[in-house]
Structure 1
Amino acid sequence: MSRTITIAKAGLPPGPQGTLIGGNASQIGTRRVDFFLDLAQTYGPIASFRAGRWRVFLVSDPELIQQVLVTDARHYIKHFGARAFKPILGNGLVTSEGDFWLSQRRMMQPSFLKAQVLSYAPIMGDLTNAMLSKWAPGKAVDLEFEFSGLTSAIALKTLFGLDDHGEREAVDESLLEVFDSLTERLDAIFKLPLWMPTPANLRISRAIAKVKKLVDGFIAQKRSRPLANDLLSTLIMAQREDGTRMTDQQLRDEAMTLYLAGYETTALTLTWSWYLLSQHPQAEQKLVEEWARVLGGRTPNADELTALPYTAAVINEAMRLYPPVYAIGREATRDLELGGYRVKRGYTILMSQWVSHRDPKYFPEPERFLPERWLDGLAARLPKFAYYPFGGGQRLCIGSHFATMEAAIALATVGQKYKFTLSPDAEIDIKPQITLPPKYGMPAILELR
């Protein structure tokens, strides 16, 4: 059935007035999720604004989101925000497009089959316990730092087959510097090309070069040893239909993408989960009772996770309120129709999980932390794109099962031994980048359970 554009909606969707040069850039600000939410609540399921020279439609209706990510997916590419991080992610799954992306996805998919992912559960449990062995009651910790270290170590072991030999922190520090700098570039109205040797560009280039050198070293180490049960080994051996394999550069791009996706998003899920639990002791008590009943102090194995429905509900609810990735963007490659409006070639469609996950139509009392809402089959009743922390369509996060298993194992292992009290002077806020970290960390005091 062909779509038509009604005359009444042939212009732009409703939205706020902007300035001639910057558009709505000054209104977006650093807490852009507030701007998105206000935009959707004020102007409805499809709204319009301008970020510098970019015309953006913010879409929050699940059917319209499905049209973009599924029905018309072949006519969209990643938007300018995602492309801004290509200097560090290269041509990996997050940034590549078209037939090349599809070929890579098909080649990598077997590495994420259920049996392969489940085989990593013991590593996740062992490394979580190794972290706990360094903790002590009364110790002040930054939960974001601790969980980033944990999930980074898990990613290093499961992806490269390597133990933490001191280079992980160097990778993570350089990555943080790169993402902070690239986010600042993305927010700037006027940008100088990265090849220009400005102080800021030189800092970015040095940090990127450092990360790439370290990852290249990991790949060289892996090629010099017998292949094992880690993701990089499976990627080295993976073949396309024509028998070709990935080059070292492509392996690096995919490894960088998987490493970042494999540690930061899960670390944030754990960080925000414990923040929410620290503010809701009744929910925390229900978790403790579930763990005592099912695990009795043991580190959970993969098979036991299905017997922990409240644990899964807490993780789902944390990702609803604080989705690790809070927005997805697509750029139209041809003129299209969406919600009765014309989407011109080059326009950006933005879909925000932060916004969708707060729709009272699907989530009554949307700002409340209510894990119980997930215990009566809510996930099966929701429209497909009312809740989508891992994206959707063909480009659904390839590591979603890995991430949810890792979060559940870590949450239960840590929570049976320790509880957390936020530091009295803790200031909790968000810092939207490509992900959603806490702006000032998550300072807390350890207490034995």
Structure 2
Amino acid sequence: MTANSCPFTNAMPPQRLPFSMASAPGALPLLGHAIKMLRAPQKFLASLPSHGDLVEVRMGPWRIHVLCHPELVHRVLTTDKVFDKGGPMIDRLRMLIGDGLASCPHDRHRRRRRLVQPAFQRKRLSLYADVMTEQITGVTSAWRDGQVLDLHSEMSRISTRVLAGTMFTADFCGSAIATVSPYSEMIAKDMTRRLLTPEFLRRVPTRGKRRFDRVTRDLHSAVLAMADRYRRTGTDRGDLMSMLLEARDDGDRLSDEEIFGEVVTMILAGTETVAYTLDHAFRFLARHPGVEEELHAEVDSVLNGRSATWDDLPRLGLAERILRETLRLNPNDWLVTRQTTEDTELAGRLLPAGSLVAYCGYAIHRRADLYPQPERFLPGRWENQQRLPSDGTFLAFGEGGRRCIGDVFGMVEGTLALSTIAARWRFESVRAGRLRPTLRMPCFARPKSMRAVAR
């Protein structure tokens, strides 16, 4: 067995009926468990399965039924007509970014997914991978021996450039590309505050709100102007924008506002989340030199100092497993809500229409019956797994009809970036700030800067 190997099973635990139900202890008057969630979200969420399979949590005035058993998660995520995207945070997210694929309700989701799906077909991924390699190389080739890097900032540069490069390739896209970076940065810093701000305060014209509105207007104008020019040229450029504009469903097309909603959704899902995952991957490697040495041996053998490409992916298995294990330990979405559209039974409890349920990847991924030695970073547990589990046990990309449409896109980008960096650089004198999880969208945990010397 190698240094990163570990026995692994993604088999479902024996069926247990009836499921156990409980209320999380320690709720405060009016606030419920909000203080615990704000102060120590990892600790609070990881504790929930010890109380039951379906645990009621209170967040201010809202009661949320958190799913702590994979069978329940699987049922909810594969019955999205009954357990629809909804809840206070999703409703406010729609107000900010519109009805994108990730936020629209069930009655609009299937049409939207059919229209967007061709942009993420596997035959397109090789074209996107060429752009990914180019942009990753562009960022990393500017590094210098002995340079001190803020790795999260560098990973954000990579993910933003990859998104812009794969979405817009036309030579007249400069204005749209120029707006992506400030918009993605603004979302990372301001989205959660705006989602949590009470309605009456959101009307106050603060300087931050004015900037948010201005950058959103700039992006909106640039994207719609660019879409109009794409239509007039009539050329399929092999990018995401071309696919969105060419999408048809019985003659139906995406409207301009729907296209803008999808662009914003891709920015939200494709920049900070990728940077977050790569940042954490390098943190884990810094603490596990044995795995790091195995990674360098792999890329030295496959790449010999050059950038990774699409054709290299089948031979970069360890790099992919490192990303999977990183996503297991630090999934991007920790608590994702659904809302019942009708009275329904769940785990023996009758939930009225409008009830909130949520799944928590962070808690499910730490079940010892699913992942032996769950707190350890062991990429080898994925060695014989050709596909990611789809039975409620691995939730980094969701599951069911609303599974992240860009899951393969993100894994390809992450594998290319991790391998290219490891093929050319080693990081020394790493000073990683203590991880202090905070409620931030689209991810919860935001680490302090990790500074490293590139060699």
8 Å CA contact retained: 1:327, 1:351: yes
1:46-445 alignment, distance < 5 Å: 46-71=54-79, 73-161=81-169, 165=174, 168=177, 170-187=179-196, 190-192=198-200, 194-195=202-203, 197=205, 201-225=209-233, 226-241=235-250, 243-377=251-385, 384-421=391-428, 423-424=430-431, 426-436=433-443, 439-445=446-452
C-alpha spacing 1:173/1:102, structure 2 compared with 1 (3 Å) = same
Task: Return the letter of the residue paired with 1:376.
Answer: N
CA distance in 2, matches of 1:171, 1:87: 19
Task: Return the letter of the residue paired with 1:117.
Answer: L
Counterpart pick for 1:45 among 28, 53, 57? 53
8 Å CA contact retained: 1:329, 1:350: yes
C-alpha spacing 1:390/1:401, structure 2 compared with 1 (3 Å) = same
CA distance in 2, matches of 1:431, 1:172: 22
C-alpha spacing 1:177/1:157, structure 2 compared with 1 (3 Å) = closer
8 Å CA contact retained: 2:48, 2:68: no
C-alpha spacing 1:72/1:31, structure 2 compared with 1 (3 Å) = same
Task: Return the letter of the residue paired with 1:239.
Answer: R
How much does 1:96 deviate?
0.9
Mean alpha-carbon deviation: is it higher for 207-216 or for 165-174?
165-174
1:15 corresponds to 2:15: no
CA distance in 1, matches of 2:207, 2:136: 39
Task: Return the letter of the residue paired with 2:454.
Answer: E
C-alpha spacing 1:144/1:214, structure 2 compared with 1 (3 Å) = farther
C-alpha spacing 1:408/1:35, structure 2 compared with 1 (3 Å) = same
Q: Where does the alignment leave 5 or more consecutive residues of structure 1 unmatched? A: 1-5
CA distance in 2, matches of 1:140, 1:54: 45
8 Å CA contact retained: 2:38, 2:439: no
Tell me the TM-score normalized by structure 1.
0.89
CA distance in 2, matches of 1:147, 1:200: 25
How much does 1:201 deviate?
4.6
Tell me the TM-score normalized by structure 2.
0.88
Partner of 2:454: 447
Task: Return the letter of the residue paired with 1:399.
Answer: G
CA distance in 1, matches of 2:83, 2:442: 25
Partner of 1:3: none
Mean alpha-carbon deviation: is it higher for 194-203 or for 62-71?
194-203
Task: Return the letter of the residue paired with 1:414.
Answer: I
CA distance in 2, matches of 1:320, 1:344: 32
CA distance in 1, matches of 2:260, 2:228: 10
Mean alpha-carbon deviation: is it higher for 332-341 or for 223-232?
223-232
Q: Where does the alignment leave 5 or more consecutive residues of structure 2 unmatched? A: 1-16
C-alpha spacing 1:144/1:278, structure 2 compared with 1 (3 Å) = same
CA distance in 2, matches of 1:161, 1:153: 11
C-alpha spacing 1:175/1:305, structure 2 compared with 1 (3 Å) = closer
Computed over aligned residues only, the root mean square deviation of the Cα atoms, in angstroms, reads: 2.7
C-alpha spacing 1:127/1:8, structure 2 compared with 1 (3 Å) = closer
The percent identity for this pair of structures is: 26
CA distance in 1, matches of 2:333, 2:181: 18
How much does 1:371 deviate?
0.8
8 Å CA contact retained: 1:151, 1:264: yes
CA distance in 2, matches of 1:109, 1:167: 23
How much does 1:108 deviate?
1.4
How much does 1:269 deviate?
1.6
CA distance in 1, matches of 2:225, 2:257: 12
- Number of paired residues? 437
C-alpha spacing 1:123/1:181, structure 2 compared with 1 (3 Å) = closer
Secondary structure in structure 1 of the residue aligned to 2:267: helix
